[in-house]
Amino acid sequence: MSVEQLILYAVLTPLVGAGLIALIGDRPNLREAATLTAGVILFWLVGNLYPLVAAGQTPEVTLVEMLPGLSINFRIEPLGMIFAGIVSFLWIVTSIYSIGYMRDHHEQNQTRFYFFFAIAISAAMGIAFAGNMLTLFVFYEILTISTFPLVTHSGTIEAKRAGRVYLGILMGTSIAFLLVAIIWTWSLTGTLDFTPGGILAGKADGPVATILLCLYVFGIGKAALMPFHRWLPAAMVAPTPVSALLHAVAVVKAGVFSVLKVAIYIFGSDFLINVASSRWLLYLAAATVLIASLVAMTKDNLKARLAYSTVSQLSYVIVGAMLASDLGIIGGGMQIAMHAFGKITLFFCAGAFLVAAHKTDISQMRGIGRTMPFTTFAFFIGSLSIIGLPPMGGLWSKWYLAMGALEAGQIAIVGVLMISSLLNVIYLLEIPFNGFFSSTGGGKAPVTKEAPLASLIAIGVTSAACLILFFHPDPVYNLMRLIVAP
C-alpha cells in the first residue's frame, strides 16, 4: 500500500464505517462491531504513517485542485501526526465506553449517534492531515455540522437550545472571521499552504498582521477563547460520550490544533513574535485560563465544572502558540495530547457516576468512592494529570509551557500557570476526596456498583495512558521537536 493510499484511506475509513453503521443499525451487535472495526483499521493506518513522519518525512497527496494553487491537499507534518494519533486511538476507546454507556442508560437513536460520530472522526482526520488552510476550513465546517446532531441528541428543548448556541457561535465565527482571514491571506500571499516559517513574513505589514491574527484566533471558535466559549458549556446537555468527543477526541482539539498550526505555518514564530496582537492575545488566553477556572469552582454540576475546566485548559495551547518560543510551541503541542487523555478520563468517570449511581451534582457524590472505588480512583488519576502533578503525563506540557514563558521573558505567564494548577487542585480533587473520605450519612455498609464493564475498560485504558505518558512522553515530544528544530 502506497503512502498516498494510506493517507486517503485514513480519511475515508470512518466514512465507510458510517455507511456500514447506517446499513446495519437495526442490529446493535453488528453496528457496534462495525464501529470498533473501523476504529482499529484507522488506528492501524495512522500507525503505519507515524514512522515516516517521525523520520522527518512529510507525505502528501492532492485530492482535487479547484483553481491553480487552490486544492484539497493532505500533507502530514508532526503536529498533524500527533492529532491524528489522538483521534484514531481515542475513537476506539470512546466506542468501547459508548457500548456500555448507551446501552445501560437506554439512550434513544443509538444508530444515529454512532453514524454521526464516525463522520466527525473523518472530519477530524481531514483537519489533522490538512496541507493548507482551504482544506482545514472545509473539514472544520464538516466537523461542526456533523457534531450538531450529537449535541442535540436527546431532542429536548434544552438540547435544541444548546444546539442553536453551538451552531451559531461556531459557524458564525468561522464565516465572519476565519473565512475572511483565509481570503485575505490568499490575496496577500497567493498561497494557503502550510509552510515551515510561515507565509506572511514580508507580505503583511504591522496593522494588517495584527488584524489577521485576531481574525484567525477568534475565527477558530472551537478553541473556546473567551468571549467565544459559551457553546462548550451549553453543549454539555449531550450524552457523556459526545462530551468526550467534544472535549478530548475531536472538536476542541481541532480548535487549538488549528490555532497552533496557524501560528507555526501561516505566521511563523519569528514573524509572530513581532505581531502586536500576539501580546494581548497571550494575555487574553492567560485571563481565560484563570477566569474559566474560577467559574468552574462555582459549578455543582460535574459536567458543567469539567466544561469550564476545558475552557481553561484549552487556553494553555493558545498561550503556547502566542509565546512564539520553541519551548512554548512544544508545550502547546504536548498539552493537546496530555489534556486529551486526562480530560476524557474525567468525562468517562462523570458518565459512569450518572449511569451507575444516577448522580450528576458534586454535592450528591459524598461517599461515592465507597460504592464506586474504581471510577473514583480513576477520576483522581485524571485530575492529577490535568493539574500537572507527577507521575502523570500532564506534568510535561505544563513544564514546557512554563519553560517557554521564561524563554520568552513572560514571567507573569509562569505565575498564571502556577495559580491555575492550584485552582485545578481545589475544584477537581474535591470530588475524589469527598468520595473517599466523606460519609453519606447512611448506617448500612455500601454495596459496590460500578458502571458497565465496557465503560470500565475504557476508563482503565485512559487512566493508564495518563501514567504511561509521564514515563514515555517521547512519541509526542520528539514530533514537536521536529517542528521547532527540523
CA distances 349 to 256, 265, 436, 463, Å, are: 24, 37, 15, 10
Predicted pLDDT at 338: 94
Q: Please state, in angstroms and rounded to a whole number, the distance separating the CA atoms of residues 482 and 294.
A: 36
Residues 6+ apart with CB under 8 A from 14: 38, 42, 91, 118, 119, 121, 122, 125
Predicted pLDDT at 442: 53
Predicted pLDDT at 65: 85
The SS3 assignment for 389 reads coil
Residues 6+ apart with CB under 8 A from 204: 188, 212
The SS3 assignment for 192 reads coil
Q: What is the pLDDT along the chain (486 residues), one digit of tens a residue?
A: 789 999 999 999 999 999 999 998 788 889 999 999 999 999 999 999 999 999 999 999 988 888 777 899 999 999 999 999 999 999 999 999 888 887 776 667 788 889 999 999 999 999 999 999 999 999 999 999 998 998 887 777 888 888 899 899 999 999 999 999 999 999 999 999 999 999 998 888 889 999 999 999 999 999 889 998 888 888 777 777 777 766 677 888 899 999 999 999 999 988 999 888 889 999 999 999 999 999 999 999 998 999 999 999 999 999 999 999 999 999 999 999 999 999 999 999 998 898 888 888 999 899 899 899 999 999 999 999 999 999 999 999 999 999 999 999 999 999 999 999 999 999 999 999 999 988 765 555 566 688 888 889 999 999 999 999 999 999 999 999 999 876
Predicted pLDDT at 112: 87
Grid coordinates in use for 138? 472545509
Half-sphere exposure of 61 (CA within 13 A, CB side): 13
Q: Please state, in angstroms and rounded to a whole number, the distance separating the CA atoms of residues 302 and 273.
A: 38
Strand duo 70-75 + 60-67: pairing: antiparallel
Angle CA 424–352–113, to nearest 5: 105
**Dihedral angle sign, alpha carbons of residues 232, 235, 236, 242:** negative
Predicted pLDDT at 312: 93
Residues in the chain: 486
CA distances 416 to 226, 317, 410, Å, are: 16, 14, 10
Phi, psi dihedrals of residue 201, rounded to the nearest 5°: -60, 125
Predicted pLDDT at 205: 82
Which candidate, 71, 70, 48, places its Cα nearest to that of 59?
48
Predicted pLDDT at 486: 61
